[in-house]
Chains A and B, each alone.
Chain A
Amino acid sequence: MKRLVVYRIAVVAGLIALLEVLCLAGVIDKITMQAPHLIARDLWRLLASGKMNGAIAKTLGNTLLALLFAVGAGVIAGALLHRRRALRDTLDPLFATYYAVPVFAFYPFFIVVFGLGDLPQILIAFMLGVVAMIVNTLNGLDRVPTVLLKTARILRLGPVDTALSVTLPSAGPYLLTGVKLAVAYAFIGIIGSEFILSRGGIGYEINFAYTNFDNATMYPLIVLILLASIAINTVLSRWERTLLARRGAR
């Protein structure tokens, strides 16, 4: 395992070094891309100057809001659907094809309906995230062992006690998978819609910098988003793995 991590770091370092060499040698010209060490320097300056704090706060705030709604609504809808077999069967084709439909195609339409504010972005991020949450909630509830539910009935646990001490621990890892996907989708939804058309946020700043040929702002911001999403994803994946291991699913 340790050896693999070393190899992975070597691959990443190798790629960065390759870019650095290509940039310094002039194979990749300055208008296309700056050398990695300059990007790192610019990113540091940008963060230290605090110019982007507003945009970062806006993007993170919207992402968090969309995530909360998506997870909340997803768990509730999943729990309700789990009890309604017919409704679940009817919605099944929707869930199966949902991620094949470009949800961003609805963004222009939301702007027309709600105006160019935060709401259309949050709605897009919510729509992207909520179905992953519903599907994984259903999946988790399907896998709660029947014997545990029967035991709960024999012990005469109420619905709240059953949920807290039986259902939640069993379905937990699957819920976390849903949350992990919802985080990624919420992030993609907010930044993507900021990018397409908006009045603020990191996605907007990248677009703005791109339109103004301002590579000294654009590349550091792109790197910032990459680092942030990689970090969040790694932490959640690790947590998910420990939960699954504890439940003995792996």
Chain B
Amino acid sequence: MSRTHGGRNALVLVAALFAFWQVVYWIVGDTALSSPLDTLAYTAKLVASENFGMHLFDTMRAFAIAFALSVAIGLAVGFWLGFDRLSGDVLEPMIVTVYAIPKLTLYPILLLAFGLGLSAKVAFGVLHGVIPIILFTLAAVRSTKPILLKTGHIMKLSRLQMIRWILFPAAVPEIFTGLRVGFSLTLIGSLLAEMFASQRGLGYLLMTGIGLHNIEQVMAVTLLIVVFAAAVSTILLQIDRRLHRNARNL
């Protein structure tokens, strides 16, 4: 019942956003904005064009590597800080603070360190995505029910066995939330890196769109990015909610 409601809400919302866009188009006019239909048509043309595949591939490659690294580093650091009470207490507030700084200003440092190209983009994506994964994993490990840990101790599990059979399964819903947030932030990070300095990718297409005053291109790429991000995030959110519901029912 609630699921059909959710679907209806999302549909109403999308329709309302498109209506809003059309109304703004009527007010602002052709010079600054292209209409929803024109944008969709241009998007179709853009996606079919020959170079687009290269730009998309470039963005997706940087994003995929960055996300894989974020997950690996985030889980490792998160489990460590969750286990080791003292390190966790010392470092957690510092990591939270780093979360709130405008990381875009750090990008020049990354560019100087990694050079203009894939590795700088990946590093910037990781910088954005790794922190929520660390924080959620840490919280998940710490909030594991003590009785589960005690059972593990009684069974004389080693540290690795403890992670494999007790902590990880118990922490999965929370960790998944971290991965969901980390996914969006990594995407944002990689795109921002491309907007600031790169020769390829969707972010680069956005910036050349401005340079050439090609409004349709700017809007088409923005639309693609927004639709992709919103769609993936909605799917992840559904899985996330189901995991949490199942965990509660245990």
Contact = CB atoms under 8 A, between A and B. Distances in A.
Interface of A: 4, 7-8, 11-12, 31-33, 89-94, 96-97, 99-102, 104-109, 111-113, 184, 187-188, 191-192, 195-197, 203, 206-207, 209-210, 218-219, 221-222, 225-226, 229-230, 233-234, 237
B155 interface: no
Main secondary structure of the interface of A (DSSP, over half): helix
A99 B16 CA distance: 19
What bracket does the count of chain B residues touching chain A fall in? 35 or more
Interface of B: 5-6, 9-10, 12-13, 16, 28, 32-33, 86, 89-91, 93-94, 96-97, 100-109, 111-113, 183-184, 187-188, 191-192, 195-196, 206-207, 209-210, 213, 215, 218-219, 221-222, 225-226, 229-230, 232-234, 237
B108 A210 contact: yes
A99 B177 CA distance: 14
A8 B94 contact: yes
A109 B218 contact: yes
Contact of B210 (A8, A108, A225): A108
Contact of A218 (B93, B108, B183, B234): B108
11 contacts: A4-B89, A93-B234, A99-B184, A101-B233, A112-B213, A187-B102, A191-B104, A206-B108, A222-B109, A233-B100, A233-B101
A195 B94 CA distance: 25
B105 A222 contact: yes
A170 to B, nearest CB: 25
Contacts of B5: 89
Contacts of B33: 112-113
A90 B195 CA distance: 32
